[in-house]
Amino acid sequence: MSAQAQVDTLRERVNSFAMKDGVAVVALIDANSALVLQWLPYLDRLKTGVADELITGVASSLVEAAACAALGLVRPALFSMRTEIDVILTWLYFKDHRIEWENVNATGDGFKLKKEMFEYFTRYFDGFGERYGILKNTASRVELDTYRFLSAHIHSQSAITLPVANNLSEVVRDRKTGDELAEIAKAVDEYISDVLMALYAKDWIHIPTNLSQHLEGRFKTPAQRSTFFKTII
């Protein structure tokens, strides 16, 4: 098949998916991203004047993921979902490290790995590790380390995560895969919210009511709730 024929077929398949299933898939991703969307106004309060643009990047990554999903482009959507996590973790660290952030922008060096940032959270945010552990034990997502799950797809270092496309149009997947993508968006949403809740639970009175109510519904036992809040109240 010629390049022109492949592009024409790709255009037709993208258009078909967008017309038939695009709105429904975007609506699912929007609904499954409700926690992060509620966190964003709260995070505006925490801006320090350093790396503030990354907060906009979180919202933009979510929009990008939904846009790709609306066209049936699953793998690009997965890339955007991992970016969503990358950007929020990066902001959580660099917002309090002006010199390091300036160095990153000037040289392209000095980015922090996920492991380093979690070590930072555990060391400097009292109770973070214990609270995050409880949230992992009460999580609804199947893959607890959603970042690792997405990274496996991005790096494609196993047979199950390899891209499978013999021509251009095959990068557009079916509705079933789009629905699975929306479930991954839900896992990303919960993962990010859990990190933020474990970090900022001490600011309980300022956390949006819907988020605090959602957290209350997560506890499986009174002991979990007591342990979660023992360093807060």
Closest C-alpha to 201, from 127, 100, 123: 127
174: left (phi over 0), alpha (psi -120 to 50) or beta: beta
Give how many domains the chain has, as a whole number.
1
Tell me, rounded to whole angstroms, the distance of Cα 197 from its chain centroid.
Answer: 14
CB 71 within 8 A of CB 22: yes
Residue 155: per-residue pLDDT: 75
- Residue 119's H or E segment, with its range, is helix 114-124
CB 36 within 8 A of CB 86: no
Residue 164: CB atoms within 10 A of its CB come to: 8
Residue 160: per-residue pLDDT: 63
- Containing structural domain, residue 57: 3-229
Q: Following CA atoms 200, 201, 207, 208 in sequence, which dihedral angle do they give, to the nearest 10 degrees?
A: 120
209: left (phi over 0), alpha (psi -120 to 50) or beta: alpha
Residue 231: per-residue pLDDT: 66
Mean pLDDT within 191-195: 98
CB 87 within 8 A of CB 58: yes
3-state secondary structure of 55: helix
Distance CA 130, CA 127 (A): 5
Mean pLDDT within 151-162: 72
Residue 159: per-residue pLDDT: 56
Mean pLDDT within 57-85: 96
Q: pLDDT tens, 72-128? A: 999 999 999 999 999 999 999 999 999 999 999 999 999 999 999 999 999 999 999
- Residue 49's H or E segment, with its range, is none
Mean pLDDT within 191-212: 95
CB 192 within 8 A of CB 35: yes
Mean pLDDT within 48-72: 96
Residue 230: per-residue pLDDT: 83
- pTM exceeding 0.85: yes
pLDDT, mean over the chain: 93
pLDDT(158) > 70: no
Q: pLDDT tens, 167-185? A: 999 999 999 999 999 999 9
